[in-house]
Amino acid sequence: MDATLTTRRTADHKPALAVFAAVGSVWVFVLVTLGAFTTSIGAGMVFADWPLSNGSVNPHGWLEDISMFAEHSHRLTGTIMGVITISLAVWLARTEDRRWLRQLGWWAVGIVVFQGLLGGTRVLLDAVAVPGFQMSLGQMLRIPHGVMAQIYVCLLIAIAVASSKWWIERTTGLQPAVQRAGLVCCALLLVQLTIAAVMRHNAAGLAIPTFPESTPDGRWLPVDWNFRVAIHFAHRAMAVVIGVVLIWFASAVRRDANATRVMRLVAAVVVNLLVVQIVLGAQIIWTFRRASMTTAHVVVGALLLASTFWLTWVAHRDAIERKTTA
C-alpha cells in the first residue's frame, strides 16, 4: 500500500469510536439471546401492552417471574440497543469521512427503529385473525422481526470492522473465488434463518420428532406431509447444503495465500460453530424442545452468520475501499 495513503488512513482511525462500535456489535447478541429465550418459553405475550409493560417501565413482579423477566429484559435491552445505535450513527455522521460508513450508521438506525415498531405492533395485533391462516397477524410479524434481527447483526459488524484500525491500515487481497463463496454462504444462511423463523413461529420444531431420520422406522423422507412437516424438512435439507458450502468456504479461506492468521482462525471458528449448531439441532429433537437448547440453537445460528459475514466483509475490504475512494 502507498505509504502516504497508509499514514492518512492511520490518522483517520478513531479508537474511541472503534471501541464503541465493537461494544454495539457485542451487545446485539445479548438482545438476540433474550429474544430467543423469550420465544423459547412462550413469553412473547406476557405483557399485552406496548411500549410499556403492564402500564409501567418497571412492572411489578418482573424480577420474580421468569416469563415477565424474559420479555421485559428483552424490551429494556432493545431500548439500550436503540440508544447505542443512534449514538453510533450520530458519532459517525459528525466524525467519519467515509460517506458509505456514515450511511451504514443511518441504515442501522432505520432497522433498529423498524424492529422496535415491528415488535410492538406484533404485541398490539396479536389478537387480529387472518382469514385462512392459523396464525394471527401479530404472530406473523414475529417472522420478519426475527429475520431483520439477523440483518441488523451483520450491519453492526460491518460498521465495527470498518471502524477498526486493522481495516484502515491493511489490505486483504483475497481471491475473487473466495469472495464469491462468502457471498453465497451469507445468502444461504439468510435463507436458512428465514426458514427457521417460519418453522419456529409455526410451532413446527417437532413436526418431525426423530433425528437424523425422519421417521421412527428409519426413513429419511417423511411419510405424511403438511405445511409444518414440509418447512421442518426444508430446514434440515438446507442445513445439509449449508454444511457443505460452509466447509468449502472455510477451506478456500485457509488455502488463500493472502488470508491473514485471524481470517484462518475465524474460518476454523465457522466450521466449529457449524458442528455445534448441528448438535444443538439434534438436541432440540431429543429433548423435545428444551428451552435452553432452542435458545442456544438460535444464538449459535446468529454467531455462525456473524462469523461468515465477518469473513466475507473482510474479504471484500479492498474492493469496498477502492470504490469509495475512487
User: 177-209 burial, b for 16+ CB within 10 Å, e for fewer?
Assistant: ebbebbeebbebbbebbbbbbbbbbbebbebbe
Between 167 and 12, name the one with better pLDDT: 167
Predicted confidence at residue 94, as pLDDT, reads: 95
pLDDT tens for each residue of 57-78: 999 999 999 999 999 999 999 9
Predicted confidence at residue 13, as pLDDT, reads: 83
Per-residue pLDDT averaged across 266-273, rounded? 97
Indicate if the pLDDT at residue 2 is higher than 50. no
Contacts of 215 by beta carbon, 8 Å cutoff, 6+ apart: 222, 223
Between 37 and 319, name the one with better pLDDT: 37
Q: How far is CA 273 from CA 177, 182, 199, 249, in A?
A: 23, 16, 21, 14
Per-residue pLDDT averaged across 255-264, rounded? 92
* Closest CA relative to residue 311, chosen from 188, 204, 208, 174: 174
Decide if 284 contacts 294 (C-beta within 8 A): yes
Grid coordinates representing 178?
Answer: 473466495
Low-confidence winner among 23-32, 123-132, 235-244, 272-281 (lowest mean pLDDT): 123-132
User: For the structural domain made of 171-326, what CATH number should be given?
Assistant: 1.20.120
Q: Report the mean per-residue pLDDT for the chain.
A: 92
What are the boundaries of each domain within the chain? 1-170, 171-326
pLDDT tens for each residue of 144-160: 999 999 999 999 999 99
Using a pLDDT cut of 70, give the percent of the chain over it.
Answer: 95
Predicted confidence at residue 133, as pLDDT, reads: 83
Distance CA 214, CA 300 (A): 24
Contacts of 110 by beta carbon, 8 Å cutoff, 6+ apart: none
Q: How far is CA 191 from CA 16, 185, 198, 235, in A?
A: 35, 10, 11, 10
Per-residue pLDDT averaged across 205-231, rounded? 95
Q: Which residue has the cell 420465544?
A: 39
Grid coordinates representing 239?
Answer: 442445513
Predicted confidence at residue 7, as pLDDT, reads: 38
Model confidence at 210, in pLDDT bands (50, 70, 90)? very high
Indicate if the pLDDT at residue 46 is higher than 90. yes
**pTM for this one?**
0.92
pLDDT tens for each residue of 168-184: 887 777 889 999 999 99
Model confidence at 324, in pLDDT bands (50, 70, 90)? low
Indicate if the pLDDT at residue 5 is higher than 60. no
Decide if 201 contacts 294 (C-beta within 8 A): no
User: DSSP character for 46?
Assistant: S
